[in-house]
Amino acid sequence: MRRFLRPGHDPVRERLKRDLFQFNKTVEHGFPHQPSALGYSPFLRLMAIGTRSGAIKLYGAPGVEFMGLHEENNTVMQIHFIPDQCQLVTLLDDNSLHLWSLKQHGGTSELREEHRFTLKGPPGSPPSATQVTAVLPHSSQEVLYLGTESGNIFVVELPSLAVLEDRTITPVAVLQRIPEDNCNRRSCEMVEALREHPKNPDQILIGYSRGLIVLWDLQNNKATHHFLGSQQLENLYWQRDGSKFISCHYDGSYTQWPVSSDNRQSEPLENTVPYGPFPCKAISKIYWQTTKNGLPYIIFQGGMPRASYGDRHSISVIHGSQQTAFDFTSRVIDFFIIFSSDPAAEFDDPSALVVLAEEELVVIDLKSSGWPAVHPPYLASLHCSAITCSHHVSNIPLKLWERIISAGSKQNIHYSSMPWPIDGGTNIAPDPPQRDLLLTGHEDGTVRFWDASGVCLHLLYKLSTVRVFLTDADPNDNMNTLGEDEWPPLRKVGTFDPYSDDPRLGIQKIYLCKYSGYLAVAGTAGQVLVMELNDEDAEHVVDHAEADLLQDQEGYRWKGHEKLKTRDGPVQFEAGFQPFVLVQCQPPAVVTSLALHSEWKLVAFGTSHGFGLFDHQQKQLVFVKCTLHPSDQLALEGPLSRVKSLKKSLRQSFRRIRRSRVSSRKRRGGGGNASEVQEANAKFDQDVLQEMELAPVQRKIEARSAEDSFTGFVRTLYFADTFLRDSSRHCPSLWAGTNGGTVYAFCLRVPPAERRMDEPVRAEQAKEIQLMHRAPVVGILVLDGRSTPLPEPLEVAHDLSKSPDMQGSHQLLVVSEEQFKVFTLPKVSSKLKLKLTALEGCRVRKVTVANFGSCKTDDYSENDLAVLTNLGDIQIISLPFLKLQIRYPCIRKEDVSGIASCVFTKYGQGFYLISPSEFERFSLSTKWLVEPRCIVDVPEVTSNNHVHKSGSENAARKS
Amino acid sequence: QFGAEFRRFSLDRYKPGKFEDFYKLILHIHHIANLEVMIGYADVHGDLLPINNDDNFFKAVSSAHPLLRVFIQRQDEVDYSNFGTNTLSRKKKALVTLRNDNLRRRPHINISMPHDFRPVSSIIDVDILPETHRRVRLYRHGCEKPLGFYIRDGTSVRVTPHGLEKVPGIFISRMVPGGLAESTGLLAVNDEVLEVNGIEVAGKTLDQVTDMMIANSHNLIITVKPANQRNNIIRSSRMSGSSGQSTDSTASHHSLPTTHVLQNFHPDEMESDEEADIVIEGGLEPQHIPKLHSLTSSSLSRINGSSLSHRLQRDLVLNNSSGRESNGNIHKLLSSLKTDPRHSLVIPRGGIEEDGTVITL
């Protein structure tokens, strides 16, 4: 408020701000959290996924994505596309139906909710009467059939979603034509499946839960055939020619039924329990796909032997003598088969099996031998091992990009070469302006390289650091190797594997130099690896050094985890990033900050104990600096002691509860006089209440002091070539900021290139700045004479940046969680500052320099700070005058992991996790916007289709 | 004779004359010429200040709007520590220890700030705040004590155009014994926190307010609505001139107009008393830090002292005639003062009611 009342509100600047900044959440990358339903339109070649939070996402060709959200935020139970239309119907768990359509608007298609509808029974009827269990969109596109728990089948008109009462198929009507001896009213309870006859749209197959299956004639409103299954029915599937259908059952069996015009009550052709003879689990869905060679594909979900494999999430494919049970690491939500959608084709000819599991999407190529998996271009399971950190690198040089892709392609040899089979819609988004990499570090010690240039976040390459260390698990132990006669023929598919062998392997910090291909990766047990990109497989020894960060401090005991054991001797590395140096911090605490200078060949790392500088050219430790305050016991003992104290406090609180219960019982038992007891109880209750009220959430107000815990925790490290000692000579320097508000500056002497190997790198502490407000230092930056941030190492050498201005005086920007401060250099004196916490009560969580270009003119761009606060707000702050430009609410403040996961790019975009498996992408820039732009056209086939449909209809009528 | 007795008389505002004359006039009017009395007056902040020389007499007269409330007490009954500290506002900014000298015999008393004392807290902006509110400034670096208090969530009742409304609020939940907050006696458990350094806390979460307080901890200014409204400063003289008008402690609580904040609390204003960061040039080893630390606090207090002196001179008048207390005494004094917040409410001896001492002449 006050800010806006201040004078100096410049209209020119306001206009410029509008040309520079704009906040948009553009696209969600990764795999939807808690998927609950799957749908597919062979006509549009689009797939739809519904989630438990009411989101619905449509995917087609790479780049073709749509998202919708049900207002109710209820679980999406079923998704059905209307045949040959750009429409779909969703059923939520509140029994509401929603009609969505894809409509073109302003050159792109948009997904919109058109209608909603909840089936209502007659007054007084139980809710089950209208609880929808099965949905059948009829091929006429005019009606929906809704099977319910009561056995009634309601008919709803499209697109108005109005009930056509006179066309309701009631159990009474169904039972009229069925002999009463083996059927009663109860047989028609709960509709389990509704299937339209593939050739004759006037016939629908109704499957009731108790096993009764009826073929219903819509023209004459009567049951023409009935089939009596002995087992509880799970699902139905028509064969392509409509002469047979298949039913699957609760006991793990499936049955084939013939449909002949003469026989009104058929006996099953075949009844099979594929994983018998022991009791099996239900087969919940089944496909029967015909092929030219006559051998059908029978594909079903479940049916595993209950006792030994009942816990598996499997989908089995049987084709002649080939049989495989694909074994998923998470629950199977649903699946579908992509087969020939041409109605004139004689056979199904299935090409791919698409399975939506709870944590990933798996597509199996059914055309290639061995049924290999297809590498999905989107819906990547980001969380196949939990994400522990992320790092974004903008504008990757083409050479490095190609080398990473080539390294990645060598890892993907076991994938099918089949083009992505779900290819509906057209991506009309312009090509991404540059190549961007998003690197995610994972709990299992891997780093994944994602192509983050466009809408599809696509895995390029996966790096594992595990090989360097000796872990309990043998990396050669392959879970997938199964003997020949293994039964059932399980085969593990998918990449989701949340179990980490050793939490110490977790990646905490990543730094990639895009010019040199040097990569530094640091982890949970104080390990720092420096790697180099190598296009060939290689076997070499990783040089190993230890950095004792406690040095001269004595009497400290680390109670945390041990350091990782390293492998002796040479290690085999595949093509890609290969480690050549390992530095292990002692004590092996989590590495909290990391910086790499590829030009000087130096890597700096910090933990809660101190920081160190390592020369990776000479493979020598340059220096270490302990930042620990002598009284900081917590940091010294490691994380375990804190766990213990938490346990202790939990135990104490439980004890307190128990004690209060015991004493209350005692009181109750002891008293003779009833009223007395009551009184005592009341008093006691009051006491308890009071006690509860006495302990509200409260926060201690205390100034930070040097003695606080974790003041030595190194939060940020920064290399700069600047004026540290005097204003005439600049030199390389290393800056470190701690949790206690201290900034250390070291003057470095790096030998010139020709003597780089001969002379040691020297470092000398030049400055120490203690911020009086003692807030954690989260960012350090040096601005050159033009007030521009210093370029990245090698950026100038590659002619990608102007060389910094070394004439004018440099400035130092220190960002703490609470304020931004600019100091002069070389003499450090405060020049200006912006207080954040003191005024707004929010704290800086992430800060990055970002370049913003104007959307109006190409020649204007400026550097600003992009800041994320602990309240989830994003603020843009100008450089070098530290004026707040704009503020957007971005992440809910309760979403702590979302805020912690946020990364900014160099061009004003950012990513944060909205669930363990999804990144939300946002943009602060008017110029750099990556969002899906796509069109879904109604294919030409429609008319042909209708001709064919009506043709077959005629044919059916004739017969 | 020193009960509630009122006299009203006029004085030439622009030529008040000498203190000696005024003193005689007082004695004459009240027919107490044979007694030795102590004369005091209520300044604009409601503080009771002594009149014992020409300078402060002149000040007193010039600050009278429109009336000057003069308090007269028998010399031997005067509780000297009342002045500028306890009486009306419970102000304890400076550890005032007035020597029990006969003040009247020293007409020209040196009024200055004792350099041995550091301010630890003060009530400020009394003139612009509603009477139900209190703005307290805590000087963290004035003493070695921890700030020492806790805050919590709660609900408070506000008067709105639509009637009473329950709104979330932030309250002081606990005082750390021996902490700065407790020792000042200006803050108490269940006081509602309304502002932190000029920023309203309404709509902010407990964590946000915590962060704001900690970020401002070196110079924390909290505006509270005290749970106990009986100790509020009464500024009746500004309102009507009738004596002893008490404020209704249950009076509706109007949210502070933001203009007040703007006028008085431009954040930049406070920058001046904030200390600079410490910069050490050259290769210093970490063990120097403790030394550095002490250096800081003393240099800081110096900065604080000088920049605050104008305010201090306005706010408090200290009699520093004879000798300065040693540091040890300060602590003793502090600990004796911190005991009970009500201590400061002690009614002057003689059974005079608090309102009764207000004599409008």
Q: Can you tell me the ipTM of this complex?
A: 0.77
Distance CA B73, CA B198 (A): 39
Distance CA A805, CA A305 (A): 73
Q: Which residues of chain B have pLDDT under 70?
A: 1-17, 30-38, 40-50, 52-53, 55, 59-120, 140-144, 231-275, 282-361
Distance CA A519, CA A514 (A): 9
Residue A441, pLDDT score: 95
Using a CB–CB cutoff of 8 Å, tell me whether B218 touches chain A: yes
Using a CB–CB cutoff of 8 Å, tell me whether B209 touches chain A: yes
Before A939, cis peptide (omega within 30)?
A: no
The answer to whether A838 contacts B281, with C-beta atoms less than 8 Å apart, is no
By percentage, how much of chain A surpasses pLDDT 90? 58
Nearest-CA distance from A889 to chain B in Å? 15
The answer to whether B212 contacts A841, with C-beta atoms less than 8 Å apart, is yes
> Which residue from B154, B211, B282 is facing A841, i.e. has the nearest CB?
B211
Residue B284, pLDDT score: 43
Using a CB–CB cutoff of 8 Å, tell me whether B5 touches chain A: no
- Least Cα distance to A286 among A256, A241, A328, A324 occurs for A256
Q: Which of A460-464, A514-518, A719-723, B186-190 has the least mean pLDDT?
A: B186-190
Using a CB–CB cutoff of 8 Å, tell me whether B219 touches chain A: no
The answer to whether B279 contacts A767, with C-beta atoms less than 8 Å apart, is yes
Residue A447, pLDDT score: 96
Contact residues, B window 158-177, toward A, CB-based 8 Å cutoff: 173-174
Using a CB–CB cutoff of 8 Å, tell me whether B144 touches chain A: no
- Type and span of the H or E element at B333: helix B327-337
Nearest-CA distance from A612 to chain B in Å? 15
Distance CA B56, CA B62 (A): 10
Nearest-CA distance from A170 to chain B in Å? 55
Contacts of A767 in chain B (CB under 8 A): 279-282
Q: DSSP of A731-795, one letter per residue?
A: EEEEEEEETTSEEEEEEEEPPPGGGTTTS--EEEEEEEEE-TT-PPEEEEEEE-TTSPBPPPTTT
The answer to whether A885 and A9 are in contact (CB under 8 A) is no
Convert the pLDDT of each residue in A722-756 to its tens digit: 999 888 889 999 999 999 999 999 999 999 989 99
Residue A680, pLDDT score: 55
The answer to whether A425 and A44 are in contact (CB under 8 A) is yes
Residue A8, pLDDT score: 54
Residue B42, pLDDT score: 65
Contacts of B274 in chain A (CB under 8 A): 772
Nearest-CA distance from A15 to chain B in Å? 27
Residue B321, pLDDT score: 35
Nearest-CA distance from B198 to chain A in Å? 9
Distance CA A222, CA A174 (A): 7
Token pair listed for A366: 């059914």
- Most A CBs within 10 A among B211, B285, B293, hence the mutation to make, goes to B211
What average pLDDT does this structure show over A870-892? 93
Residue A699, pLDDT score: 84
Residues of A near B (Cβ–Cβ under 8 Å) read 1-2, 5, 626-627, 696-704, 706, 764-773, 775, 818-819, 821, 827-830, 835, 837-843, 870-871, 893
- Most B CBs within 10 A among A701, A744, A746, A870, hence the mutation to make, goes to A701
pLDDT averaged over every residue in chain A: 86
Residue A552, pLDDT score: 67
In chain B, ranges of CATH 2.30.42.10 domains = 121-231
- Higher pLDDT pick, A62 / A262: A62
Measured between CA atoms, the residue of chain B closest to residue A702 is B147
Residue B82, pLDDT score: 43
What average pLDDT does this structure show over A829-855? 91
Number of Cβ within a 10 Å radius of residue A497: 14
Distance CA A932, CA A28 (A): 10
Q: Topology of domain B4-82, per CATH?
A: Ubiquitin-like (UB roll) (3.10.20)
CA A105 to each of CA A68, A108, A933, A935, B331: distance values in angstroms, whole numbers, following the listed order: 15, 5, 11, 9, 77
The answer to whether B212 contacts A838, with C-beta atoms less than 8 Å apart, is yes
- CATH superfamily for B121-231 is PDZ domain (2.30.42.10)
Nearest-CA distance from A598 to chain B in Å? 26
Number of Cβ within a 10 Å radius of residue A876: 23
Convert the pLDDT of each residue in A50-78 to its tens digit: 999 999 999 999 999 999 999 988 999 99
Residues pairing with A254 in the sheet: A248, A272
Distance CA B314, CA B311 (A): 5
The answer to whether A841 contacts B209, with C-beta atoms less than 8 Å apart, is yes
Token pair listed for A745: 């500056």
DSSP state of B92: -
Residue A945, pLDDT score: 42
The answer to whether B137 and B91 are in contact (CB under 8 A) is no
Measured between CA atoms, the residue of chain A closest to residue B284 is A765
In chain B, ranges of CATH 3.10.20.90 domains = 4-82
Nearest-CA distance from B119 to chain A in Å? 17
Confidence of residue A625 (pLDDT cuts 50, 70, 90): very high
- Higher pLDDT pick, B65 / A640: B65
Token pair listed for A545: 């050094």
The answer to whether B116 and B94 are in contact (CB under 8 A) is no
Cβ neighbors of A785 (< 8 A, separation 6 or more) are A804, A805, A806, A807, A808, A809, A810
Using a CB–CB cutoff of 8 Å, tell me whether B297 touches chain A: no
Distance CA B337, CA A745 (A): 46
Using a CB–CB cutoff of 8 Å, tell me whether B202 touches chain A: no
Using a CB–CB cutoff of 8 Å, tell me whether B279 touches chain A: yes
> Which residue from A5, A698, A768 is facing B284, i.e. has the nearest CB?
A768
The answer to whether A772 contacts B214, with C-beta atoms less than 8 Å apart, is no
Using a CB–CB cutoff of 8 Å, tell me whether B197 touches chain A: yes
* pLDDT of A783 over the 60 cut: yes
Using a CB–CB cutoff of 8 Å, tell me whether B274 touches chain A: yes
The answer to whether B280 contacts A626, with C-beta atoms less than 8 Å apart, is no
